[in-house]
């Protein structure tokens, strides 16, 4: 099963333009502006590509040309290297899952029948289809024994969205098109669906073309983001970090928003950046040894740790007065930041606790480094190709020397 889920395909737009037919009525005969204008971009296999831009900029049109609901006026779209016009639309649509804008479940069909739509088209036998339906409902977190026989109107908005995803995945297509899949639910349900979907994508690894109006959703969900401007022109195609660091022009800059530095922090986790080091000392250890460690660390105040390496607090000067370290603290090790925290939340913790830096712990609670305002600020200046984000693994930032001259609060 897992192998089956792992198939994905490259989707490639090559100078694709779409003009709708000339208008009728008063404007009859006037040339129409392009809905999509000379679009070229490549969506790598197994990645999420977000199409984002203002209403009417051609997102849905772009998406519908992939599965030939709409035919381009000119240019070529290739799926795993093959021109999509080489495949009959029916056959193509079985290889491409589609979650349409506003979910679009069939209201008169049960949830099971909705999910079974494409397997039935493919004439799978009954038992295989039933097994697949249950598997898909499980996959999107809906107990088949409860929901299989229900009708769409008996579900919440978020549940309907999940069924829409289950239906699109049912025939295990290598490509999924999702048109504002989470657009119709409240912000809290939306965030939950987004997180679930990202987790799901780690398992299924599909090539996903995903439309949204919402730049925050784009930044969170996308491996790559295509920003379209009115008239269907591609303004920028880049990774989220690149988009936030180097918007191509004023339009993208405005679209991304004035708070792009903060958005960038929401993309990075504490484990992705170079932390400061602190000396760790234990109660009773020789002061000479402690002083040697302190000299090597980025911060000149040592952290007292327990026998498991868990930070207790920052040692006071008096703790180093004798032969052996006495666990006299100047302050407790607070807040404790975790490696998996996103930088934006960690920054909020530092600000709230009114400290310049604080210890970072690994999942076992052991010291992993020290996060400081300086380290966070530096991470904003790392060029995007060197910045690590949750979706891209690139070499971490270099070994720029950091000096620690500030005192803990």
Ligand X SMILES: Nc1ncnc2c1ncn2[C@@H]1O[C@H](COP(=O)(O)OP(=O)(O)OP(=O)(O)O)[C@@H](O)[C@H]1O
Question: By C-beta, is 229 or 260 nearer to ligand X?
Answer: 229
Task: Quote the least distance from Cβ 17 to ligand X, whole Å.
Answer: 12
Q: Which stretch binds ligand X (CB under 6 A): 57-65, 87-95, 187-195, 395-403?
A: 57-65
Question: By C-beta, is 231 or 286 nearer to ligand X?
Answer: 231
Is residue 61 a contact residue for ligand X (CB under 6 A)? yes
Question: By C-beta, is 4 or 55 nearer to ligand X?
Answer: 55
Nearest one of 287, 283, 286, 280 to 361, comparing CA atoms: 280
Task: Quote the least distance from Cβ 163 to ligand X, whole Å.
Answer: 21
Question: By C-beta, is 49 or 305 nearer to Mg ion?
Answer: 49
Choosing from 7, 60, 129, 207, the residue that interacts with Mg ion (CB under 5 A) is: 60
Site string for ligand X, 279-308 (x = CB under 6 A): ------------------------------
The Cα-based distances of 55 to 52, 228, 390 in angstroms read 9, 10, 28
Task: Quote the least distance from Cβ 202 to Mg ion, whole Å.
Answer: 27
* Contact indicator for 308, 364 with CB cutoff of 8 Å: yes
DSSP secondary structure string for all residues of 115-156: HTHHHHHTT--HHHHHHHHHHHHHHTT--HHHHTT--GGGS-
Task: Quote the least distance from Cβ 405 to ligand X, whole Å.
Answer: 51
Task: Quote the least distance from Cβ 101 to Mg ion, whole Å.
Answer: 5
Q: Which residue has the tokens 């407790």?
A: 332
Is residue 27 a contact residue for ligand X (CB under 6 A)? no
Question: By C-beta, is 59 or 220 nearer to ligand X?
Answer: 59
* Whether residue 335 has a cis bond before it, omega within 30° of 0: yes
Q: How far apart are CA 277 and CA 271, in angstroms?
A: 13
Q: How far apart are CA 126 and CA 120, in angstroms?
A: 9
Tally of CB atoms within 10 A around 282: 16
The burial of 283, by beta-carbon neighbours within 10 Å (0-12 exposed, 13-18 middle, 19 or more buried), is given as middle
Choosing from 8, 37, 48, 59, the residue that interacts with ligand X (CB under 6 A) is: 59
Q: Cβ contacts of residue 247 below 8 Å, gap of 6+?
A: 236, 253, 255, 256, 260
Is residue 57 a contact residue for ligand X (CB under 6 A)? yes
Give the rounded distance of the alpha carbon of 321 from its chain centre.
50
| Count of chain residues binding ligand X (CB under 6 A) | 10
Site string for ligand X, 210-249 (x = CB under 6 A): ---x------------------------------------
């Amino acid at each position: 099963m897992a192998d089956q889920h792992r198939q994905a395909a490259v989707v490639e737009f090559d100078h694709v333009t779409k003009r709708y037919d000339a208008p009728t009525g008063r404007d009859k005969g006037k040339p129409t502006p392009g809905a999509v204008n000379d679009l070229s971009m490549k969506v790598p296999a197994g990645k999420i590509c977000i199409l984002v831009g203002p209403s009417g900029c051609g997102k849905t049109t772009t998406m519908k040309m992939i599965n030939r609901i709409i035919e381009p006026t000119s240019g070529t779209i290739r799926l795993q290297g093959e021109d999509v016009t080489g495949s009959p639309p029916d056959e193509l649509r079985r290889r491409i899952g589609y979650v349409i804008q506003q979910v679009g479940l069939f209201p008169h069909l049960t949830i099971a029948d909705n999910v079974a739509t494409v397997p039935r088209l493919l004439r799978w036998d009954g038992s295989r289809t039933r097994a697949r339906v249950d598997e898909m409902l499980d996959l999107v977190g809906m107990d088949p024994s409860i929901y299989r026989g229900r009708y769409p109107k008996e579900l919440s908005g978020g549940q309907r969205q999940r069924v829409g995803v289950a239906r699109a995945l049912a025939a295990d297509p290598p490509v999924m098109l999702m048109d504002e899949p989470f657009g119709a639910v409240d912000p809290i349900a939306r965030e939950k669906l987004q997180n679930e979907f990202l987790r799901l994508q780690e398992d299924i690894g599909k090539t996903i073309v995903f439309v949204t109006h919402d730049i925050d959703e784009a930044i969170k969900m996308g491996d790559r983001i295509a920003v379209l401007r009115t008239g269907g022109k591609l303004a920028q195609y880049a990774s989220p970090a690149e988009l936030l660091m180097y918007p191509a022009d004023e339009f993208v800059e405005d679209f991304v928003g004035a708070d792009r530095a903060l958005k960038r922090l929401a993309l990075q986790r504490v484990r992705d950046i170079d932390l400061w080091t602190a000396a760790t000392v234990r109660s009773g250890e020789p002061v000479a040894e402690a002083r040697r460690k302190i000299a090597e660390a980025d911060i000149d105040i040592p952290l007292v740790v327990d026998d498991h390496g868990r930070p207790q607090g920052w040692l006071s000067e008096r703790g180093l007065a004798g032969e052996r370290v006495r666990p006299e603290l100047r302050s407790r090790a607070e807040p404790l930041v975790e490696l998996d925290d996103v930088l934006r939340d960690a920054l909020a913790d530092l600000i709230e606790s009114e400290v310049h830096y604080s210890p970072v712990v690994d999942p076992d609670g052991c010291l992993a480094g020290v996060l400081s305002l300086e380290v966070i600020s530096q991470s904003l200046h790392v060029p995007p190709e060197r910045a690590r984000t949750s979706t891209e693994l690139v070499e971490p930032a270099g070994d720029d020397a950091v000096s620690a001259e500030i005192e803990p609060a």
